Amino acid sequence: MSKTRRYFSLLGLLVVLSMLLAACGAPATTAAPTATQPPVETKAPVEETSAPAPTTAPTEPQAPAVPNCGTEPVVLNAYFETGFDLPFKLAEEFSKQYPNVTWDIKQDQFTNLINSTPRLLSGDNPPDLIRLPTMVSFAKQGLLKDLDGYAAAFGWDKWPVPQLNQNRVAPDGTRGSGTLYAMGLNYSLTGIFYNKTLAAQIGMTEPPKTLAEFEDYLAKAKAAGLLPIMAWGSAKSGMGLAFPLQALMASVGPVEPINDWIFQKPGATIDTPSNLVAAQHLEQWIKNGYFPPDVNAIEYTDANVRFTKGEGVFLFNGDWENWRYDKDMPGNVGFFLMPPAEEGKPPAAMSAPLTFGIAAKAKNADCAAFFLNWVATNEKARAINVQYGGSNPGGPADLPLPPVPEGSITNQTLAAGAIVGKAGTAMDFIANATSSIFAQGWTPELQKMVAGKQDAAGLLKAVQAEYERELAEQ
């Protein structure tokens, strides 16, 4: 379940992989602390950064000392998501490098975190570090620490822009700009995985370059008696056809209006002419039998298991599942980004940070912030990040990516991420536009479409109506 629900939380607007690009320009050499740098023992700067001056102007003192974990014993109070090793491995390594820091880690399923986070943040023992399922409402309620002070102290604000923007919330509740409330442990990427053996059977030797080519392969797969696309779609898992739908939207149209809609920009609508074309493609795929007939009852985990067992040529999913595909179908899995409708147009992808925040009342906020900085900048941490997370670790633009084992699918997803980063075509997930647009909008309406009870135009209208209902009630 936790894996299932994980990308409900796909947050964030732009991927971050642009740091790979020389084009980004070398950022100023910030005094990002490294593991070797002895922690500076200070008191004053701690106070200074723990209360980051919001808008009051004077900006002089920030520079000299960066927050750190000190030398006294510190117990970091953390909430992680069950089923994902990465944060645990990082915590372990952090304690090795900073022995005065120990952890009190609690874990829970993602769905439970969604419901319990407000209480945890506002409770008596607020977490120093917590996996954030969503962010806007907690930020507006003042439950999350304003990280702008840390961003200045650690030089995060000099990292490639999109990394931080996706975790910024403006006073009116729109995301994408404003105060920084969270950091990503890494930055995931979605696209299309394929079974190499089955792809060879339909004559696909290299990934398609256009939507038409891709649809041609889908038709060939169907004709060859194969299942073209494995997918999940139960209400419990959340309707997985939102993945191909959004990929189609970005394939036939621009990504900006999609992000505007997700970030609740005034007047934004999902019911646009190009999105209608995208939804019509999806409707046609359904009618052509490109998805499993029982998709409305398939759970997320079952879809992945069935795909690794050879059912389905393609699967729309994200790089957080790389470990599974590497393990269960080693060497037999490939990855490509959804190809654009017009050749030459850059491909786009849904992408998001693995978001962690600090409670406003956290006792060890400085140490937690230091940890977040360490994750993105420490060589060992970045290696762990890629090994267990499968995604880009982010961080300053001039740091090299850690090596990935030969033959791992991660090589392909990281390379694809660089393309999206360069093109600036990353998107947040359409299911994250409002808190229950997935449960009350996309999931039921797409399920109706699968059953032939909803058409492309009706789908977009119904979801837009639900979006407006939720926004109006706020």
- Site residues (CB under 8 A) for another protein? 114-115, 118-119, 122, 137, 141, 143, 233-236, 292-299, 302, 435-436, 439-440, 443-445, 447-448, 450-451, 453, 466, 469-470, 473
Contacts of 60 (CB under 8 A, 6+ apart): none
Distance CA 350, CA 245 (A): 11
Name the 3-class secondary structure at 336: strand
Per DSSP, which regions of 37-174 are E strands?
74-81, 101-108, 129-131, 168-169
Phi, psi of 176 (to 5 degrees): 110, -20
User: How is residue 88 written in tokens?
Assistant: 């645990």
Pairing of strands 333-336, 183-195: antiparallel
Closer by beta carbon to another protein, 270 or else 298: 298
Q: For residue 351, which of 454, 421, 256, 278 has the smallest C-alpha distance?
A: 421
Contact 371, 95 (CB under 8 A): no
Closer by beta carbon to another protein, 365 or else 450: 450
Distance CA 100, CA 94 (A): 10
Name the 3-class secondary structure at 282: helix
Contacts of 136 (CB under 8 A, 6+ apart): 169, 173, 175
The helix or strand, by DSSP H or E, that contains position 349, with its residue range, turns out to be strand 349-357
User: How is residue 283 written in tokens?
Assistant: 């409707």
Q: How far is the CB of 249 from another protein (least distance, A)?
A: 22
Residue with tokens 């996996």: 131
Residue with tokens 């037999």: 332
| 133, amino acid identity | P
Pairing of strands 314-318, 229-230: parallel
Closer by beta carbon to another protein, 29 or else 436: 436
Pairing of strands 314-318, 183-195: antiparallel
Contacts of 194 (CB under 8 A, 6+ apart): 204, 207, 313, 314, 315, 333, 334, 335, 336
Q: For residue 338, which of 424, 257, 252, 274 has the smallest C-alpha distance?
A: 252
Closer by beta carbon to another protein, 235 or else 457: 235
Distance CA 393, CA 357 (A): 16
User: How is residue 405 written in tokens?
Assistant: 């084992």
Count of Cβ atoms closer than 10 Å to residue 124 Cβ: 5
